[in-house]
């Protein structure tokens, strides 16, 4: 593989992000009248009217701008814009954040999801890290995590999600990401303890002991859930957990975690459609494709995981996987208005024509940051 190829792709993505996407999603993707961020942007760059706003979008958009300080735009205004709106509009009496409000900021669904608390913690860490004067965010994060522990900690490990599916690996994945971010700011505290706790739960329960792949749904004993849900395997989450386990393994000097990450990555590749060279949305535990649509986010996770696992030995095969993943990802960005994206890539090679979801930006920005970091070391 030519190193310049990956470097050229990184440069292309960086230009797209800083010159087009970050300005567009601040100017048109933020609500400059009522606060917060819009859920969607049409492919004409206009936000559809009346669309409810998920909590996770406010946190994710704040995170995007907080880690994009190389952008020469007003990141200091954009970074807290979502998290401040989240605190003002979504916070419930118990200190957790509800899942959905109207465009006017009225609560539409007061359910508090573990998934959304994880992203709130991640955004607060990212904004506080670049704006240390915002000590209120640090205090809010500590209070929120204390409430999560009090309300959701499960006696058999991990945390309980709200709603129908209560024992799920996915919100733990994002909680681990958030705790790692806070652990970098405040090492040796409560964050460290629960980072290790979630990694242990992942390695002993979420990952199938015999097969080495990661499941999505469980019963209250953290055994695979009954019915079809217990057999679901998402390639994107194999990659995303691989990235996290590689980070933790490097942090702790734990080679077993890195070996588990490598195995997860290889299972993720089993969900890459050779025709599109794109990771499909879902398989079953026999690795037969069940949802062939290839979502944007899964492609970014393939790239991130390949890059972090390629680091120690400069693994050319993994660097080539990152390159192929990046070439596939670029297809999602080929829109008439530069700075937008399509989300769903179908088996026939077409994309679903629909508004661009703001929630994808978190995956994109972090992927491009990972690409930039990796090519500097080449």
Summarised one tens digit per residue, pLDDT across range 19-57 is 999 999 999 999 999 999 999 999 999 999 999 999 999
Angle between helices 360-376 and 3-16 (to 10 degrees): 140
Are the C-beta atoms of 247 and 180 separated by less than 8 Å? Answer: yes
pTM beyond cutoff 0.95: yes
Q: Where are the domains positioned within the chain?
A: 3-376
Give the pLDDT of residue 133: 98
Architecture of the domain made up of 3-376:
Alpha/alpha barrel (1.50)
Residue 1 has pLDDT above 80, yes or no: no
**For residue 4, what pLDDT band results from cuts at 50, 70 and 90?**
low
Give the pLDDT of residue 2: 44
Query: How much is the average pLDDT of 346-373?
Result: 98
Summarised one tens digit per residue, pLDDT across range 194-206 is 999 999 999 999 9
Q: In this structure, what DSSP letter does residue 10 have?
A: H
Are the C-beta atoms of 81 and 36 separated by less than 8 Å? Answer: yes
Antiparallel, parallel or unpaired: β 40-41 and 53-54: unpaired
Residue 15 has pLDDT above 70, yes or no: yes
Structure tokens at 366: 């972090």
Summarised one tens digit per residue, pLDDT across range 122-177 is 999 999 999 999 999 999 999 999 999 999 999 999 999 999 999 999 999 999 99
Query: How much is the average pLDDT of 276-294?
Result: 98
Three-state DSSP class for residue 109: strand
């Amino acid at each position: 593989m030519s190193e310049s190829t990956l470097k050229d792709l990184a440069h292309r993505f960086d230009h797209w992000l800083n010159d087009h996407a970050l300005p567009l999603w601040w100017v048109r993707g933020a609500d400059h009248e009522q606060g917060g961020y819009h859920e969607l942007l049409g492919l004409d760059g206009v936000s559809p009217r009346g669309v409810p706003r998920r909590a996770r979008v406010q946190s994710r958009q704040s995170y995007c701008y907080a880690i994009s300080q190389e952008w020469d735009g007003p990141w200091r205004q954009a970074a807290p814009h979502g998290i401040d709106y989240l605190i003002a509009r979504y916070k419930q009496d118990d200190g957790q954040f509800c899942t959905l409000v109207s465009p006017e900021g009225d609560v539409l669904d007061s359910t508090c999801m573990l998934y959304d608390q994880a992203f709130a913690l991640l955004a607060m860490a990212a904004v506080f890290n670049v704006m240390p004067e915002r000590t209120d965010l640090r205090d809010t994060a500590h209070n929120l995590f204390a409430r999560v522990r009090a309300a959701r900690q499960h006696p058999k490990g991990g945390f309980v999600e709200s709603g129908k599916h209560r024992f799920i690996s996915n919100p733990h994945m994002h909680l681990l990401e958030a705790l790692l971010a806070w652990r970098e700011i405040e090492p040796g505290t409560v964050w460290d303890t629960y980072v290790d706790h979630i990694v242990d739960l992942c390695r002993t329960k979420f990952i199938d002991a015999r097969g080495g792949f990661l499941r999505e749904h469980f019963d209250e004993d953290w055994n695979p859930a009954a019915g079809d849900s217990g057999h679901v395997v998402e390639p994107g989450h194999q990659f995303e957990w691989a990235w996290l386990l590689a980070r933790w393994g490097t942090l702790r000097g734990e080679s077993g975690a890195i070996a588990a990450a490598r195995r997860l990555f290889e299972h993720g590749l089993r969900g890459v459609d050779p025709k599109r060279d794109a990771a499909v949305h879902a398989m079953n535990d026999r690795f037969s494709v069940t949802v062939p649509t290839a979502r944007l986010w899964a492609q970014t996770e393939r790239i991130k995981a390949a890059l972090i696992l390629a680091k120690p030995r400069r693994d050319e095969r993994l660097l080539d996987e990152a390159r192929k993943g990046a070439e596939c990802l670029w297809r999602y960005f080929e829109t008439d208005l530069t700075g937008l994206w399509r989300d769903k890539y179908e088996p026939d090679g077409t994309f679903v024509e629909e508004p661009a979801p703001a929630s994808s930006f978190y995956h994109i920005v972090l992927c491009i940051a990972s690409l930039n970091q990796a090519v500097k070391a080449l």
